[in-house]
Each structure stands twice: as structure tokens, then as C-alpha cells.
Amino acid sequence: MIIDLSLPIDDTLVETHGAKIERISHAEGVEHFNWVVMNKQPGGQTKFDKGERVARADEIPDGEMLSLEIVHASVHMGTHVDAPFHYGSLCEGKPAKKIMDVPLEWCYGPGVVLDFTYMKYPDNIQKNDVIKELKKIDYKLKPMDIVLINTGGDKLVGTPEYVTQYVGMMPDAVEYILDQGIKMLGIDTIGLDRPCFEMFDEFLKTKDKSKIWPSHFLGRKREYCHMERLGNLSAIPKPYGFIVSCLPVKVRQAGAGWCRAVAIT
């Protein structure tokens, strides 16, 4: 059984970096085809603007061309993998890996899901919470396990609370997981850290460097990747004994890439 753990790139969501999707329908594709062909020819754009066409709808099978969607979106929209380069230019003193550099071995392997759905905003997951949950499911993390953090945050998608009120992870929790040899983890919230506007507010008031993106900035001294905006983690029928695949899209010179994360049982 394959369980979809991914959220789409959604242009209906109002966010800081929202997506815009241009959708050219099959019927509109006839006009688009004419424009693509004619605007490459000398004087073609002028002819197109005057109403000339190289092909009419009745000359195209069923009067329809292929559909086309053009997506303008951050690589952090929808379910995605953050690469070390997202956290900083250097990782462990070396140039940080971009999304194309992330070893695929990090993105496919045994999965472990930890249930923190009992937590509610403004709770945040700390090291002892991770230890307690692992003890509860009687599991010891192994190197290269892929750890999934289930907060139930995906249930808030489409609401203001999804952006402003969710359960985040504190850096001591992330570091404990990394200490077990983990290279990939994921969470079902919009971000790994606690809500960003709270961090921004505290940082600007205090200028305390520890207040802003601490779990992300941990990736400057510890090499790892994490997924954000996972969904449907509660559908995984057991806490371990399944495979996770989260192969990211290869986006050139980027710090993240969209992925279709799935659990395979």
C-alpha cells in the first residue's frame, strides 16, 4: 500500500510567498499555439495582434490543443525538502549542499512516525518529548531512518492558524534525532521551527540570535535535510516498519525542492 503524505502547490492559499498558477485550457491552447509559433517569426507578433492565425480551431483535432499550466511559486510551497544550503552558505565548514546535491540515499529508507498530536499551540516539541515518544513505541532510531513528526498540523491548511499557530520543534529535539544518525526528517506544519512571526517579534525586540530560526540554523553545524508541509501522517498504520520515499525535484542552484512524499507499507 502506498500512502500519500504530500500537499499540493496551491494557489488558493494566502501566504507570504503565495503561488500563482497560469492555466491555459485546451480551447485556449489553440490561441496560445498560434502565438508561440507566430511570435518567433519576423513581424509575427504584429500579424498576430492584427488577427492573423497560422491554424484555426477547426483544423485542430476536436478544436483543442494540450492543456498548459505555468507555475510561479517558491520552492517552499507544497510538500518540499529543505537542503543544507537553505540553512546557510556553509555547513560543517564546507559549502552547503544544494537540493541537486542531496544524496538520494537520504530520501528513501525506513520510516518512523512520532505522534505529537496531543500537543496544541503554543506547545513546542523538545528533546524529552522525542525520547518519551520513542520509548512509548518501543523503538530505537537507526542511522538513515527517516523520521516523520505528526502534529496534525495539516488539518489547519487553508486557515490563518496554519501559518500562525502550530506546534514547532526546538533545536534540542532536532539535534537529538540527528545524533542517532538521521539525515532526513519531516513535519506536517508549514515550518520546522515554532511559528515564524513569534520568532521575528522576539528577535526584533531582543536582538537575541537564538530566537530566530534556531532549528534551521542548526543545519549550519549539522548536515541534514528536512521536509515541511507533510500531510496525512495519521494514515500510516504503524509507527515503524514502512518505507518513506521523498525524492526532491532537481531545481538548479536552489536550497529546496518540491517532493511527492509517500509511505510504502
Cβ-based burial of 146 (10 A; exposed 0-12, middle 13-18, buried ≥19): buried
pTM (2 decimals)? 0.94
- The reported pLDDT for the residue numbered 132 is 98
Q: What is the pLDDT along the chain (265 residues), one digit of tens a residue?
A: 999 999 999 999 988 788 999 999 999 999 999 999 999 999 999 999 999 999 999 999 999 999 999 999 999 999 999 999 999 999 999 999 999 999 999 999 999 999 999 999 999 999 999 999 999 999 999 999 999 999 999 999 999 999 999 999 999 999 999 999 999 999 999 999 999 999 999 999 999 999 999 999 999 999 999 999 999 999 999 999 999 999 999 999 999 999 999 999 9
Nine-digit cell at 133? 515518544
Q: Which pLDDT score is estimated for 14?
A: 83
Taken in order of first residue, the domains within the chain and their CATH numbers are 2-14+75-264 (3.50.30.50), 20-72 (no CATH)
Q: How far apart are CA 179 and CA 114, in angstroms?
A: 17
C-alpha dihedral (229, 235, 236, 239), degrees to nearest 10: 90
